[in-house]
Amino acid sequence: MQASAEFRIPEHYATDKRGPFRWIWSHAIHQWVYILAALIGGFGNAAMMAVVPILTGQAFNMVLAGDVDLKRLGQLALLLAGSQLVRGVLQLGRNYGFEFTAQRIEREVRYELYTNLLGKSMTFHNLQPVGDTMARATNDVREVNYMFSPGWNVVIGSLNFLLMPLLFASRYHPDLLLVPIIFTVLYALALWQYLASLSPITTEVRTAFGQLNTRLAEALDGIEIVKGSAQENQEVLRFGKNVNQYRDSMVRQGDVEARFLPLLLLGFALAGGLLHAMLLYRQGLINVGDVVSYFGLLSMLGFPVFASMWAYSRIALGVAGARRILELINRTTDLDQNQGGYGESMRGEVVFKNVTFAYDENDPVLRKIDFRVKPGQTVAIVGQTGSGKTSLVRLINRTYDVSDGQVLVDGIDVREWDLEVLRQQISIIEQDIFLFSQTIAQNIAFGKQDGSMEEIIQAAKNAQAHEFIESFAEGYQTVIGERGVTLSGGQRQRLALARAFLTNPHILILDDSTSAIDSETEDKIQRAIYTAAKGRTTFIITHRLSQIRWADQILVLRGGELVAAGNHDDLMQTSEAYRRIFSE
C-alpha cells in the first residue's frame, strides 16, 4: 500500500482536502451532535427573544384599554420571565455547542497538520521556512477555532434574529412583511460585497503574519551569528519592515470593516418600518400594541448588523487560515511509506547501481555512482566540501530518493522496503547534532523508547559519555537546553553516539560526527566506534586520517562523481584526488 507521505499516523477520520470549505466541512460534520444542539439553541434563543416584544405589545393594549386585568398582567409577566429563563438555557446550549465544536475541531486540525508534517520528506522541510510553518500550526489553526466560536456562533445566532421579523410580522398585518423582506435582501447583497472585499485582505493578513514569524524565527535561531556580526540594528530594521507590512494589511482590513453598509441599511429599515406601521395604525388596520410589538421585532435586526461587523471577519480569517494550513498539508512529496513492503532483518549489504540524485532536476548532486559494500564492512567516504558525501548516505535510508538508478539493501531496492522497518535498522549520526529539551536519559532513548536504564547507561559507556553525565548533579535525569546548547560540542556528539548504540542498528552512518571532539577524547571515541562497527555495516564521512585508515573500503567523491575506491595504501598510490585531500 502506498501513501502520499513517507510517514503517517492513522487519521482519526478522512478529510476532504480539495478546498478550504470542503476541508472545514469534513471536520465539522464529525461534530454534528454539538452543531445540531447549537442550531436548536440558536433558533430557540431568537424565538424566545421575539416573545418579549410580542408580550410587551399585548401589555400595552391592556393598559391603553383602561381595563387592567391584574391576573392577566401577572400571567404576561410570568410568561415573559419564563421565556427568558428558557432563552438563557437555549443560549447556553448554542454557546456550548459551538465552543465545544471549535475546540474539538482545533484539536483534530492540529493532529492532522502535525502528523502530516512528520510525514513530509526532507526536501519539503529543507525548503519550508520553520517560522512560517509555526505560524500556520499555531495562529492559523487558532483562527479556525475562532471561526466557529465566536464566528459561526454569533453568525448563526444573528441570522435567527434576522428570521424572527419575517416569521412574526405578518401576525399584525401582511403588509408589515415588506420592510423586513427588503432589508433582508439588501443585507444579503451588502454582506456578499463585504465578504468579497474582505476575503483577499484576510488572506493577506495571514500571509503577512507568516512572513513576520518566519523572520523572527530565523533571527532567533541564528542569534549567535547576529550578535557575533553586530547586526542587531539591521535585524530590527528588517523585522520592522515585516511589522509594517502586517500593520498595513490589518489597517486595510479595518478600513473595509469601517465601511460596513448594513449599518446604514439598519437605520433606514427602522425608520421605514416605524413609518409603515404608523400609517397602518392611522388607517385603523393595527393598534398601538401591534406597533410596539412590530417595532420591537424590527429592533432585533440590530443584532445581525452589529454582529456582522466582526463575526464575519472571524470567519474570513478562519477560511484564510484553513487555506494556508491546507496548502501545507497538500504540498506533495515524492517519498512513500510503502507499508507492507519488504520488512526482514538486515544483513547490511549495500549496493549503489548507476545512481544519480538531484534536488533540482537540472543540477545533479550525484552522478552515476556505482559501488558494493559487503555486510559488516566499514566504508569511509571522503571528498571536498560539496562533493555529495552527505547526500549519498541519505539515499540509503531514503531521506531522499534517487533520481535515477537503484540503491539496494540486501539485494532489495530501498523503495521496496517498508520505510519504517528500513529506518529502524539504520542509525545516522549527523554532523549537526540535534538534542531535545528533555533529560539526558530521554535523549539517549529517543530511538528506543522502551530502553531500560541499564541499557541507556551501557550505551553511554560505549560512547564514552557516562563519565561526564555522572558529573552533573542530576546525572541521567539532567534536563538539557534546546538543541543541547548547555553542552559542549563533544558532549553532544557523544550523546548522539549513545543514542545510536542503544538502537543497535544493522547499518551505522557517521556523518563527520567526531568533528567537535578534542584529541584526548578522540582516542576513546575511536575505540567506541571501532567496537560499534564490528558486526554491522558502517559508513563514516570524515577527514580524520585515523578513522580512514582502518576502513575496509574508501570512496572518494569529487564534484558528485565517484572518482576512486579502494583502501588507504592503494589510493595514496593511484588516486591524485585522494592524495590532494590530505595535502590541502
Same domain, 282 and 403: no
> Does residue 80 lie in a domain region?
no
Say how far apart CA 5 and CA 7 lie, in whole Å: 5
pLDDT above 70 for 476? yes
**What is the structure's pLDDT at 11?**
56
Among 373, 456, 363, 369, which residue's Cα sits nearest to residue 404?
A: 369
Same domain, 321 and 356: no
> Does residue 340 lie in a domain region?
no
Same domain, 431 and 291: no
Check whether the bond before 150 is cis (ω within 30° of 0): yes
For 339-355, what is the mean pLDDT? Answer: 89
* Residue 237, C-alpha cell as written in the block: 530594521
Out of 61-70, 192-201, 335-344, the most confident range is 192-201
Among 273, 275, 90, which residue's Cα sits nearest to residue 166?
A: 273
For 98-111, what is the mean pLDDT? Answer: 92
Same domain, 324 and 355: no
Residues 6+ away with beta carbon under 8 Å from 534 = 376
From 298, 329, 360, the end of a domain falls on 329
* Residue 379, C-alpha cell as written in the block: 566504508
Same domain, 325 and 355: no
Same domain, 312 and 357: no
Say how far apart CA 171 and CA 168 lie, in whole Å: 6
Same domain, 400 and 432: yes
Among 504, 493, 372, which residue's Cα sits nearest to residue 427?
A: 504
Among 489, 536, 484, which residue's Cα sits nearest to residue 509?
A: 536
Of all residues in the chain, the percent with pLDDT exceeding 90 is 32
> Does residue 438 lie in a domain region?
yes
From 300, 329, 358, the end of a domain falls on 329
**What is the structure's pLDDT at 584?**
59
> Does residue 533 lie in a domain region?
yes
**What is the structure's pLDDT at 370?**
94
Query: 528: pLDDT confidence band, cut at 50, 70 and 90?
Result: low
Name which of 8-22, 121-135, 518-532, 557-571 the model is least confident about. Answer: 518-532
User: Which H or E run contains 497?
Assistant: helix 489-503
Residue corresponding to grid cell 568533528: 515
3-state helix, strand and coil shares in percent for the chain, rounded to the nearest 5: 65, 10, 25
> Does residue 51 lie in a domain region?
no
Same domain, 225 and 319: yes
Query: 516: pLDDT confidence band, cut at 50, 70 and 90?
Result: low
Name which of 259-263, 323-327, 391-395 the model is least confident about. Answer: 259-263
pLDDT above 90 for 137? no
DSSP codes, 147-180: IIIIIIHHHHHHHHHHHHHHHHGGGT-GGGGHHH
Question: What CATH number has the domain bearing residue 141?
Answer: 1.20.1560.10
Same domain, 140 and 249: yes
* Residue 306, C-alpha cell as written in the block: 452589529
**What is the structure's pLDDT at 570?**
86
> Does residue 307 lie in a domain region?
yes
- Asked if 105 and 143 count as a contact pair (C-beta separation under 8 A), the reply is no
Same domain, 284 and 354: no
Walk across the sheet containing 507-511 and list its strands: 426-429, 507-511, 537-541, 378-383, 553-558, 561-566
- Asked if 336 and 5 count as a contact pair (C-beta separation under 8 A), the reply is yes
CA dihedral sign, ordered 512, 518, 519, 522: negative
The residue count of the chain comes to: 584
SS3 473: coil
**What is the structure's pLDDT at 277?**
92
Instruction: Provide the residue range defining the domain that includes 184.
Output: 108-329
* Residue 280, C-alpha cell as written in the block: 397602518
Same domain, 307 and 356: no
> Does residue 93 lie in a domain region?
no
pLDDT above 80 for 314? yes
Same domain, 308 and 372: no
> Does residue 65 lie in a domain region?
no
**pLDDT tens digit string along 545-579?**
777 877 889 999 988 999 999 888 888 888 888 88
**What is the structure's pLDDT at 93?**
92
User: Rounded to the nearest 5 degrees, what angle is found at the Cα of 252, between the Cα atoms of 251 and 255?
Assistant: 85
Question: What CATH number has the domain bearing residue 354?
Answer: 3.40.50.300
pLDDT above 70 for 114? yes
Report which of residues 399 and 357 the model is more confident about.
357
Report which of residues 191 and 40 the model is more confident about.
40
How many domains does the chain fold into? Answer: 2
Report which of residues 141 and 203 the model is more confident about.
141
**What is the structure's pLDDT at 212?**
82
